[in-house]
């Protein structure tokens, strides 16, 4: 069983873990649009591919799948998740499983305002969000929300172009210079990350790993500590099953005075997943089992608490001409 990891980028650990799991049982193929993406060199084989926005990109990927006898394909970046889901049938026709959630769920996860509406309508605690400034100003005057708040792109990732603002003038300035923005309540609380795997055959949540985020860098978890809470596990299971996610997902949550608020969902491996793996939550093995037609047993919470993750920089040295 061979697997294809798209847009590998700098996710060296993710590729490394797949290689370790598939060793002797299958090959790990990686791709990226740049030869300067270090993670591709961790794979058994790699391909340099066009940009995901170029016409013919999917056909290029399908050709790789046929040539390399790929059984499963996944992406490590948000914009490509919807693209894969949208072309799911094309992959299935050649016997390739798209490891990811539906097109609708990928699009909702990418659109932070739509995610807010979904959560709010179903009674989940979440940050108040607005795309209408006047509605926001009205709620400020009535005391339903207060500054500071976040102004961020409705669609975005990696905390790019997010501003913490403290007054109406700042909101007006940002909205006058940018389109596609929303206003979101600033949640004062402990940020939590959850790495979750939903079995692709049974549809059941079979692994949940949670960590308290101690420090963030460039939108990713830089330092964190593992912990367990059955109340949180049950909330995650309820949310995931109700929404219908499948495969690997990453959830951002806030603990505010003992109440859990769901913030965002990434239907892919998150930047902090290595913490889960090193604590014993091998989701690569769960993926391999599913690709082999095996249903996974539930391992939720089967890891130690108070295990710390601390990221640090590493480098990749290669000698070749780029261009």
Element (H, E) at 285: helix 283-291
Q: Using CA of residue 7, residue 12, residue 16, residue 17, what is the dihedral sign?
A: negative
Question: What pLDDT does 323 receive?
Answer: 61
What integer pLDDT is reported at residue 290 of this predicted model? 98
Q: Please give the pLDDT value at position 159.
A: 54
Q: 39 and 57 in contact (C-beta within 8 Å)?
A: no
Q: Residue 161: which residues within 8 A CB-CB, separation 6 or more?
A: 152, 153, 178
Give the pLDDT confidence score for residue 157 in this predicted structure: 61
The reported pTM is: 0.94
> Residue 198's pLDDT is what?
98
Domains in the chain: ranges and CATH: 2-99 (3.40.50.20), 128-185 (3.30.1490.20), 189-310 (3.30.470.20)
Q: Cα 26 to chain center, whole Å?
A: 25
For residue 298, give the 3-state DSSP assignment.
Answer: coil
Residues 232 and 252: their CA atoms lie apart, in Å, by: 12
CA atoms of 309 and 323, how far apart (whole Å): 37
At 62 the three-state DSSP class reads helix
Q: Which residues contact 109 (CB under 8 A, 6 or more apart)?
A: 78, 81, 101, 115, 264, 265, 266, 267
Q: In this predicted structure, what is the pLDDT of residue 158?
A: 53
Q: What is the mean pLDDT of each run of 10 residues along the chain (323 residues)?
A: 97 98 96 97 98 96 98 96 97 98 96 96 97 96 95 75 90 90 95 98 98 86 95 98 98 96 96 96 98 97 96 89 69
φ/ψ of 26, rounded to 5, equals 175, 170
pLDDT at site 216: 79
Distance CA 54, CA 58 (A): 9
Question: How far apart are the C-alpha atoms of 21 and 46, rounded to whole Å?
Answer: 18
User: What contacts 74, CB < 8 A, 6 or more positions away?
Assistant: 3, 4, 5, 6, 84, 98, 99, 100, 247, 248, 268, 287
């Amino acid at each position: 069983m061979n697997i294809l990891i798209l847009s590998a980028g700098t996710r060296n650990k993710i590729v490394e873990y797949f290689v370790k799991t598939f060793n002797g049982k299958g090959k790990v193929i990686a791709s990226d649009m740049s030869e300067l993406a270090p993670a591709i060199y961790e794979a058994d084989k790699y391909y340099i591919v066009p940009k995901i926005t170029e016409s013919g990109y999917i056909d290029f990927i399908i050709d790789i799948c046929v040539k390399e006898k790929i059984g499963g394909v996944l992406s490590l970046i948000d914009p490509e998740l919807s693209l894969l889901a949208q072309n799911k049938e094309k992959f299935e026709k050649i016997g390739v499983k798209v490891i990811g959630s539906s097109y609708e769920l990928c699009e909702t996860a990418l659109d932070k305002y739509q995610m807010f509406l979904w959560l709010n309508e179903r009674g989940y605690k979440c940050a108040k969000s607005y795309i209408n400034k006047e509605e926001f100003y009205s709620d400020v005057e009535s005391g339903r929300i207060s500054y500071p708040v976040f102004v961020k792109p409705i669609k975005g990732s990696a905390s790019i172009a997010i501003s913490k603002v403290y007054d109406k003038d700042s909101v007006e300035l940002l909205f006058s210079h940018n389109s596609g923005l929303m206003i979101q309540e600033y949640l004062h609380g402990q940020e939590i990350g959850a790495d979750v795997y939903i079995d692709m055959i049974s549809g059941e949540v079979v692994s949940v790993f949670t960590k308290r985020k101690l420090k963030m860098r460039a939108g990713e978890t830089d330092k964190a500590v593992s912990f367990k809470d059955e109340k949180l596990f049950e909330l995650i299971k309820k949310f995931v099953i109700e929404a219908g996610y499948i495969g690997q997902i990453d959830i951002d949550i806030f603990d505010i005075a003992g109440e859990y608020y769901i913030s965002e969902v990434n239907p892919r491996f998150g930047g902090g997943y290595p913490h889960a793996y090193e604590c014993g939550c091998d989701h690569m093995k769960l993926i391999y089992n599913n690709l082999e037609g095996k249903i996974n047993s539930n391992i939720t919470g089967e890891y130690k608490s108070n295990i710390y993750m601390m990221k640090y920089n590493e480098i990749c040295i290669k000698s070749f001409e780029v261009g």
